[in-house]
Structure 1
Amino acid sequence: MGYPEKEDTFTNQEVNRGWQKQAREEVSYWIPEADISGTLPVGLYGTFFRNGPGNDEIGGVKLKHPIDGDGLVCALTFTGAGEVHFKSRFVQTEHRLVEQKLSKLQYRGGMGTNPQGVVQNTWNLTKYMITPSGGKNENLRRLMNYRNPSNTNVFYWEGKLLTSYETGLPHCLDPVTLETLGRDDLRNTLTLRSFGAHFRYDPSQDSLVTLSVKPGLGNEKPRLGINEYGRKWELKYNQVFNIPGLNYAHDFLLSKHFYLVHMSPFVKISRWLFYQFVLGLNSPGESMKYYADLPSRIIAIPRRPEYQKLLGNKPWLELDVDPCHIFHFTNIAEISEGSENGEPTRLTFEAVTLGKNFNMNFDKGVFLSNYSVEPGVLSSFDIDLIDCKCTQRKAHVASVEFPSVHPYRHGIYTRYSYCVASDDKQNPIPFTSILKYDRESQNTELWKSHGVVGEPVFVPRDGYSSSGNEEDDGWVLAQVYLPKQHMTDFVILDAKNLANGPIATIHLKHHVPYGFHGTFTPEVFGHADVRGGMNLRPAKL
């Protein structure tokens, strides 16, 4: 089954079917050779992991938003011998296990799914407030009883395959079977009891850097936790910052000297809102909208105390930017123009920015936020560390999301980024294309699919040893949903010649629900030794 010669158009109803649940708890099979179009590239060896919501209802109750759905991890394994294995399995969180046993929705979702009405929630709150422990913020949080679907990202590092959801602990999976082994606090190093959706790998330090956020309420200060792990999950650095007003961070940037996050004017924390959440009148996701009284700022935080000298001995630097919300960044570069000692004087980066009309309404049953009203655009930022100013401009006019870069070049200058895109000004969603952006020339390259594309993941040609290669020497992998057929393909694109289209396409005989984020690791787990007669390689990253 190849792509049609002419571009298809899809109805919202057809696109919405891509969110429908996976019917089986687990799917596992080898892809027949006849279902692979084109030629699998020589050297593509490893596993493409991808996570996203695998169900749109629980016990017959429709979820209010896809983000409330349980995590479904897919593993697409390339043995290097011309064979491909597909596997998908739900993350067995404690919340999912209870609801599966009862065949009934039991837990709230952060986007508004609620198994109880206002009357029951009011009664629960009243009972809790009259108890000796009532009224405490932690107890109120427990009263809301939000689910942790562990559905946002998945990655492999030092023997652990972890799934994440930013308000809770990650879950550890067996990379061979995708069996859920349980929640993992990484040897009690996640002191904020949360684990961000995104991470960064620092090749200069051979470190994995993670993010945790806990919003402030009442007398509690908001807390931003950043951990840096070495091999065997050794905790190298653990820092917690109390930055007033920083109550949310989905992603962050990592440079040699700094961490960067965005303080969003779309996330408000107040006791009144908190009680609305408890009563079920509102939810964290539904309350995301522009608050004109809140600042929009880029926060630059020195990675080490000795780097504070670069900011005039400040613990962090807050820089006002145009009102926007940022879910995702690309990568950051430190520039040393005019510096006699090589220290950075400027920081440049790109991010997908959402304007003042942004909210998290499930837009037309197609996308997670109201992109038809407020599409995200790729914006470039330039921070002057001497004058303490930040300028920004629109880098491209297309509607984009889910940017990705070379996975082993965080903190190192990168030229290219890859996003899902729609270049149709009349239809910012669904995303039907993949866009490659060149920050040096500001040129773009676009591949138009004949379906709805998921996050593109760049796979360097030589895996862990790719640092000496050209930056775009590799492939781009992406999931493509075909609305007319209600089926899913996975495509492999040559990153250097993106517009030429897939060099290979893997056609599944069923659909896979849309995903959020994924990663590629140049390892195979339990497959190549069974089918291809190859030895498993030791895990390195």
Structure 2
Amino acid sequence: MPAEPTLKQLHGRAFASLHDEMDYQVARIDGTLPPELTGTLFRIGPGKFEVGDTVLKTMFDADGMVSRFVLDGKTVRFTNRYVRTKQYLGGDVMSQRGITTNAPTLRGNLMPPANTGNTNMATICGDLLAMWEGGPPYKIDPDSLDTLGYKRFDGDRLGYLGSFSAHPKWDPNTGEVYNFGLDLLPTPRLRCFKVDRAGRSHQISSLKLWDMVWNHDFALTENHMVFVLDPLRPNIPTLLRTRSLAQALDYQARNGSTRFALVPRDGSKPRIIEHEALTHVHVTNAFEDGSDTVVEFFRFDDPDVWRKLGQAWQEPADPTDPRAHLTIEEWPRGHLSRFRISKSGRISETVLSPSAPMEFPQYDWRRSTQEHTVTYACKATEDIGHYNAVTRIDHRTGVQSTFDFGLAQTGEPLFVPRSRTAAEDDGWLLVLNHDLRSHHSQLAIFDARTIEDGPLATAYLEHHLPIGFHGTFSRRIAG
């Protein structure tokens, strides 16, 4: 009889590749699907963790795989397809470096990192896009999931790399989309732009950064794009020693500060406000309160988190190797906070949750640019090595409620309102979960107000889905 897998081996299953592309109607659904919940859920993340004989060091370098769930109120249909990136079409040859994995040739390491299209999905001006922050997005056919090439916006160019960050933001009042791209040469800059309703891009600011910093996300208010720029910089000597970009990231708290940048949407001069150094990844939302600007995000307790993650990335993340997961002691802990920036430049922090391993904050996107009252997120319980729970923080009452999936790897929750005019928290929370014991994944559908009661319905897949990142929901039923 084969030995039972160890706990660390079970954790490693989250990083197991899925090479097959499938299309089938889900046979097993526990509970009852909400009849009003109709549309299509698109999720994206890494699909395979090797290129030929090269084992990728982390999920960030893996080719993007789209997972689609079509819901008609009675059934769930699942389809998955890989984004046809240059790396994917190259088969067994890794011709360009990744973020954490170097290519086997000097030429490949001198090129920009491969655009894996694996980070987020969004529908912008009618086009479904698969995004990765270091290059242009890929256009995806929502019905066939075919890759239709790069999406090149008309209007102002997106810079020499075509960078279109993986976290665009919408203004629900104007229909405009705002985003940024990071340019490192000839001088480091944040290139800020908007996409109008006709799909034309307009540069509104080019923010000089003085030094190289890595930035992943931002928030939008009625009048500003809001950036939180931590002192996370690539160490050039480390890069020249052929280490990967991720291993070269250096958190320089002693020599730098976190800069809050308020970039006016009308193109006028940005404001930069210095703050003590802190660490974060994703931003929830931002809004204006009188003359103040308020921005919400998870702040990590340990400012050294990037060095620890970099150490974990120094060896190949073989799915059967315990290095493929971070234990709870190593997993970043943090708390949800709102930072208030006054007109005079004073910054104050309000803590909204106890410290815990939490990230991937989400909210009702109809509240973008306005104050929201509920935040959803992934959470890890104290004895599990992955995010394995979904949590809800009600800012009106201060109550935090959680549903624990057990030994699992749980993806980012996505809120879907019951209707266009429904109250902020009246709707459903859609969560992808990977049961690590059975090595199968499920789509869990919660009442967004009572997630602690468990899912209303669970659709069981015939296989697992590797650890994923972000996604979007469309009311259109894809065919």
TM-score by length of 2: 0.90
**Counterpart mapping for 1:13-412 below 5 A:** 13-24=9-20, 26-32=21-27, 35-80=28-73, 82-98=74-90, 100=91, 103-116=92-105, 121=106, 143-187=110-154, 189-192=156-159, 193-216=162-185, 220-235=186-201, 238-245=204-211, 247-268=213-234, 270=236, 272-276=237-241, 280=242, 282-291=243-252, 292-305=254-267, 315-336=269-290, 345-354=291-300, 355-359=302-306, 360-361=309-310, 362=312, 365-367=323-325, 372-373=329-330, 375-396=332-353, 397-412=355-370
Contact 1:372-1:428 within 8 A present in 2 as well: no
Shift of residue 202 of structure 1? 0.4
The runs of at least 4 aligned residues of structure 1 exceeding 6 Å deviation read none
Q: Give the CA RMSD over aligned residues.
A: 2.3
Q: May I ask how many residue pairs the two structures share in their alignment?
A: 458
Shift of residue 145 of structure 1? 4.6
Aligned position for 2:471: 518
Shift of residue 398 of structure 1? 1.8
**Counterpart mapping for 1:353-502 below 5 A:** 353-354=299-300, 355-359=302-306, 360-361=309-310, 362=312, 365-367=323-325, 372-373=329-330, 375-396=332-353, 397-424=355-382, 427=383, 429-450=385-406, 451-462=408-419, 465=420, 468-502=421-455
Shift of residue 243 of structure 1? 3.4
Aligned position for 2:317: none
In structure 2, what residue type is equivalent to 1:182? G
Shift of residue 353 of structure 1? 2.0
Aligned position for 1:529: none
SS at the partner of 2:396? coil
Shift of residue 348 of structure 1? 2.1
In structure 2, what residue type is equivalent to 1:353? R
Contact 1:375-1:428 within 8 A present in 2 as well: no
In structure 1, what residue type is equivalent to 2:148? L
Identity %: 26
In structure 2, what residue type is equivalent to 1:194? S
Shift of residue 434 of structure 1? 0.6
State how far apart, in whole Å, the 1-side matches of 2:155 and 2:7 are. Answer: 48
Shift of residue 215 of structure 1? 2.5
Higher percent of residues as strand: 2
In structure 2, what residue type is equivalent to 1:488? S
State how far apart, in whole Å, the 1-side matches of 2:127 and 2:428 are. Answer: 25
Higher percent of residues as helix: 1
Shift of residue 456 of structure 1? 0.5
Contact 1:64-1:113 within 8 A present in 2 as well: no
Shift of residue 393 of structure 1? 4.4
In structure 2, what residue type is equivalent to 1:154? M
More moved, 413-422 vs 382-391: 382-391
Offset from partner CA, 1:122-152 (integer Å, 9 cap, x none):
xx5xxxxxxxxxxxxxxxx983352111100
Shift of residue 300 of structure 1? 1.5
Aligned position for 2:316: none
- Cα distance change of structure 1 residues 87 and 59 upon mapping to structure 2, 3 Å threshold: same
Contact 2:15-2:59 within 8 A present in 1 as well: yes
State how far apart, in whole Å, the 1-side matches of 2:435 and 2:86 are. Answer: 33
In structure 2, what residue type is equivalent to 1:180? T
Shift of residue 477 of structure 1? 0.5
Contact 2:379-2:391 within 8 A present in 1 as well: yes
State how far apart, in whole Å, the 2-side matches of 1:376 and 1:316 are. Answer: 32
**Structure 1 regions of 5+ residues with no counterpart?**
1-8, 125-140, 309-314, 337-344, 527-541
Aligned position for 2:319: none
Contact 1:298-1:321 within 8 A present in 2 as well: yes
SS at the partner of 1:408? helix
State how far apart, in whole Å, the 2-side matches of 1:399 and 1:247 are. Answer: 25
In structure 2, what residue type is equivalent to 1:28? D
State how far apart, in whole Å, the 2-side matches of 1:145 and 1:167 are. Answer: 9
SS at the partner of 2:117? coil
SS at the partner of 1:88? strand
SS at the partner of 2:255? coil
Shift of residue 461 of structure 1? 1.0
Shift of residue 273 of structure 1? 4.5
More moved, 493-502 vs 448-457: 448-457
State how far apart, in whole Å, the 2-side matches of 1:10 and 1:298 are. Answer: 44
Contact 1:198-1:251 within 8 A present in 2 as well: yes
